[in-house]
Amino acid sequence: MLGDLANMKCKLSGVYPKDIKVTWDKTFKSSQSQHAEEHEDGTFTVTSVLSFTVKEDMRGIRLTCQAGYEGFTPVSGTVTLVVRGPPSIKGPQKRVKTGQTVSFTCESLGDQDTSITWLKGETTVSGGQNMSWSDGTRSELNVTLTNTDIKSSIYCQIPGYRGGLVPSDTLKFSTFIFVIPEVTIQKMSAEDSHSISSFHCAISGFYPDDINVMWLLEGQTLNSILFQSIKNPDGTFSTFTLIDVIVTNEVKQLTCVVTQIGNHNVTHSVEFSKRSSGCNVPLWFIFILVKVCLLVTINACFCLAVKRETRRKRK
């Protein structure tokens, strides 16, 4: 693996005597150690270890181990270095709103047909399209973003050699996702003695915590205060703003405008006037109230009739 400390072993079995000379054909900085292990038959196994830090320019180098006694033809073995690079993941370069599909690319240099595995959080994700070329492997994965992805991450992994640690790279969804807020206006109070009413604009479920809010009254900008955002359990944010408006008999439109990244606007508008600012009673409530009044009236008339009949009989 690129950047790792590699230990290349050259093992010679059944040699005697043990002072056989072992050399490495190398063109880079390294260290060498050698030891011998004696067997019951008196022969030895001699092992030479060449240690070096794996670098990019070592990819494809042929490394030869040569061993022999003075005056005799040496024996040798050759291996071609395969430098495997750690996986590197790439995702969107700008913010993408939830509901859209984004592409991720994972590359691992060094080996052809390296197995690349994708994970979303701790769950393996299928559907990655693998491609290989002479110097490595690439995998592409498409994912549709949801609000729950804010706290999650995407991983790509390649197998480790001989049971070693699994090299991986990760990318947090929070670095490129954005969630559109829900914006609603509510009237908080009736007009006071100066015909002033308060309106409340609630902005909920947005991400990231980077928005601008303004009020428009008939297209004219009003000054207001945006309160500090609070973080929701799902990772999104919520906040609100208040404004006082003079209410007249003329119907006017009040709009709350929320601007996100990339000048994406979300708005909500209400119309108001003194005529419409009174008590707005739902029709179903009026119907029930009328029905109750009729029942009370009928009941009272019945009771009165019973009393009159009782008095008449006594007489």
pLDDT tens digits, residue range 267-309?
A: 999 998 875 444 444 444 455 556 656 766 776 676 676 667 6
- Read off the pLDDT of residues 228-237 as tens digits, 9 standing for 90 and up: 999 999 999 9
- Maximum CA pair distance of the chain? 153
Q: Which residue has the tokens 């002033």?
A: 196
pLDDT band at 220 (very low <50, low <70, confident <90, very high): very high
Q: Which two tokens stand for residue 206?
A: 């947005």
Euclidean distance between CA atoms 36 and 16, whole angstroms: 10
- The model's pTM is 0.65
Quick one: DSSP state of residue 207?
B
Q: What is the DSSP string of 106-131?
A: EEEES-TT---EEEETTEEE---EEE
Q: Compute CA distances 168 → 87, 106, 153, 165, whole Å.
A: 6, 10, 12, 9
- Is 167 in a helix, a strand, or coil? coil
